[in-house]
């Protein structure tokens, strides 16, 4: 097929992202496509090497062979994951842009998040290429459909009565082939049955512990609740959609770790009024400094309304978060967002396929390994050191699962592998179920007593309201 300049640029950038050096490119070509090094263009300018390589595959009519091989060689790369969708969207929409650019611009504006700065200058976006690039770089939010999916579907709804049958068939073929739930996207929101929109609404109890500088082993604690965690119903920058939770249990400002479970009991009591018949079970997300990331927080026992004391992790999805990622100087948010997007695309893969095992490595080698593989998930059979937690942050790993202590039971590896047979997006629920399953078992050799899950969703964060001072 004949490629446009835009498509060549997108392929070149994706290849460079996945294979930043010629030697890595050569390995992929040999292993995945059976192309010998002698067939790879020689040039000191790597950009030109990639350009010539793409032209060679284009002239042979086998550009998809190159893209598919590159994706197999680095399945976790975000740019490669999105490449086919962007290219196909461009190929189908490009012939229509002259006639329908106004509708494309409006569909683009409608798909931008409310706090996205491009909304303020949307009228200056005059070409399809810029629209697709902007959509690709936008934060995903909590909608399971990508910005590109939303854009194509919204555009199609706007022009569906104006298109020829041939144009309409091509657009629908693109949507059904490359986009999940495309038929559902074509249904305007006001036509979607209310019961479907309101069932199983995700919600999040966010707790942030940060150490006191004046008092050793004491912590300030803040908490918020997001009653509706879908469809961008909350805004971190304005605080909209968040409910601040008060400390009603104690009068002091700082707390010991032993006091935190009773605080969480009270927070859970406070959020009851915000839950509806359609709310899912709250996810409890606790942001911790490095020194607390291996704390057994899921084993903290809570006793609600004179009920039996039960470990919190047996009742709720309890996940740990790193406070380091909340800092404004955290430099890897862009990589974190990209890896989270990649993870959300891997719904058909089991955890065992997505997880990189880190037990054989020093922290230095693990840093190299995670960067080399563009890994999105990490599995450890033994408790991580502080250096390992720092590696997780520096590589922006969104998911990590580990055992807080080494177990003598040789069967624990089999148990963990069985746990990881689920889809990566189902892991928090699976961990909760394993904790619940092992709760009645008193043996300390059961992995459910020692599971910690780091689940770093870059869009579920404490509010960080940005105030402006009137001039």
pLDDT value for 232: 65
**How many whole angstroms separate alpha carbon 198 and alpha carbon 92?**
34
CA angle 470, 226, 135 (to 5 degrees): 70
pLDDT of res. 196: 46
* Residue 312: predicted pLDDT: 94
110-133: pLDDT as tens digits:
888 765 544 445 456 778 888 888
- Please report the pLDDT score of residue 178 as a whole number: 67
- Residue 427: the pLDDT is 93
DSSP-derived secondary structure for 199-248? TTB--EEEEEEEE-SSSTT-EEEEEEEES--STT---TTT-TT-EEE---
Q: Residue 132's closest CA among 146, 145, 121?
A: 146
pLDDT of residue 246: 87
Structural domain spans, the chain: 5-76, 86-192, 204-455
Q: What was the pLDDT predicted at 133?
A: 84
| CA–CA dist 403, 401 (Å, integer) | 7
State residue 370's pLDDT score.
92
Low-confidence ranges of the chain (pLDDT < 70): 1, 114-124, 139-145, 178-182, 184-199, 231-232, 305, 348, 410, 465-471
Residue whose tokens read 């969708």: 85
What confidence score (pLDDT) does residue 284 get? 97
What tokens appear for 327 in the block? 């800092």
pLDDT of residue 141: 58
């Amino acid at each position: 097929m004949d490629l446009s300049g835009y498509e060549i640029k997108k392929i070149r950038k994706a290849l460079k992202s996945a294979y930043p050096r010629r030697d890595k490119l050569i390995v992929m070509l040999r292993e995945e496509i059976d192309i010998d090094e002698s067939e790879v263009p020689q040039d000191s300018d790597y950009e030109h090497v990639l350009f010539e390589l793409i032209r060679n595959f284009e002239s042979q009519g086998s550009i998809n062979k190159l893209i598919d091989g590159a994706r197999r060689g680095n399945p976790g790369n975000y740019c490669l994951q999105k490449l086919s969708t962007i290219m196909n969207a461009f190929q189908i929409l490009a012939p229509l842009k002259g006639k329908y650019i106004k509708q494309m611009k409006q569909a683009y504006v409608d798909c931008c998040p409310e706090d996205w700065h491009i909304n303020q200058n949307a009228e200056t976006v005059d070409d399809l290429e810029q629209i697709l690039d902007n959509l690709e770089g936008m934060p995903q939010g909590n909608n399971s459909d990508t910005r590109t999916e939303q854009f194509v579907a919204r555009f199609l709804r706007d022009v569906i009565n104006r298109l020829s049958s041939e144009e309409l068939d091509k657009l629908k073929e693109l949507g059904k082939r490359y986009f999940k739930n495309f038929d559902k996207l074509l249904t305007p929101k006001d036509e979607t049955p209310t019961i479907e929109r309101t069932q199983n609404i995700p919600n999040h109890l966010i707790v942030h512990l940060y150490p006191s500088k004046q008092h050793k082993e004491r912590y300030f604690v803040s908490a918020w609740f997001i009653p509706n965690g879908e469809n961008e119903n909350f805004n971190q920058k304005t605080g909209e959609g968040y409910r601040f939770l008060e400390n009603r249990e104690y009068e002091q400002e700082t707390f010991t770790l032993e006091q935190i479970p009773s605080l969480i009991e009270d927070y859970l009591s406070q959020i009851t009024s915000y839950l509806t018949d359609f709310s899912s079970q709250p996810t409890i997300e606790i942001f911790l400094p490095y020194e607390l990331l291996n704390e057994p927080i899921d084993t903290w026992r809570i006793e609600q309304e004179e009920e039996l004391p039960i470990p919190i992790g047996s009742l709720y999805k309890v996940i740990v978060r790193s406070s380091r990622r909340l800092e404004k100087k955290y430099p890897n948010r862009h990589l974190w967002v990209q890896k989270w997007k990649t993870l959300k695309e891997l719904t058909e893969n089991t955890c065992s396929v997505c997880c990189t095992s880190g037990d054989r490595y020093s922290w230095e080698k693990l840093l190299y390994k995670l960067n080399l593989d563009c890994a999105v998930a990490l599995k450890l059979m033994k408790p991580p050191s502080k250096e390992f937690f720092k590696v997780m942050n520096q590589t922006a790993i969104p998911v990590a699962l580990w055992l807080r202590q080494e177990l003598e039971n040789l069967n624990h590896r089999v148990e963990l592998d069985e746990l990881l047979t689920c889809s990566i997006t189902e892991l928090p629920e699976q961990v909760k179920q394993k904790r619940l399953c092992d709760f009645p078992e008193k043996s300390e050799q059961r992995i459910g007593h020692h599971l910690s899950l780091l689940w770093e969703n870059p869009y579920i964060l404490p509010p960080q309201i940005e105030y402006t001072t009137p001039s």
